[in-house]
Amino acid sequence: MALRHSVEMEPYSGPEPGDLIEIFRPHYQHWALYLGDGYVINVTPVDEGPSVALSSAKAVVSGKARVRMQLLKEVVGSNTYHINNKYDAKYTPLPVKDIIRRAKRFIDQEVSYDVLGNNCEHFVTMLRYGEGVSEQVDNTITALGIATVVLGAFSVMGLLWSRSRERKN
């Protein structure tokens, strides 16, 4: 299992309970929360099978997910991961004992799943900070908004060009 670690000033000591774990899948990032002793909590499809790669896709289609406690190495599989408590500057993490207690209440529970408003990143940030946030979703929505504006501008320009040509004929 490959590992990314971006902190250069201190030696890598592994995740600590309450840390957010970002797992790099081929086309998206999956998120989990480290519980300790090699275990994480994360959302998986209700009918999870052996394929880790399709997990989020199955949850998207069903609109439901199951919260599971699993070994980090099993969730990561052949992908890479890193500890990413990126929202700590914006939100104050809850005390670790509260994060773990809240997380354990969800184990084996079925929860609703929605890519834009209630995904795996929302779930783990809600546990760590008390508020579900997803920069991944915000970035996607921003990119879609920009693409829509650009396509709209090209459509208007094409319409104006077409009318200009009609007037010349």
CB 59 within 8 A of CB 87: no
Report the run of H or E that residue 160 belongs to, with start and end: helix 135-168
Q: Is 120 marked active-site?
A: yes
One-letter amino acid for residue 66 of the chain: R
- Phi-psi map region of 33: left, alpha, beta (phi>0 left; psi -120 to 50 alpha): beta
Q: What is the DSSP secondary-structure string of 115-147?
A: TTTB-HHHHHHHHHHSS---HHHHHHHHHHHHH
Q: Is 27 marked active-site?
A: no
Entry field: residues in the chain: 169
Residue in 27, 30, 82, 122 annotated catalytic:
30
Sign, CA torsion 92/94/100/102 = negative
Residue in 5, 27, 120, 122 annotated catalytic:
120
Catalytic positions are 30, 120
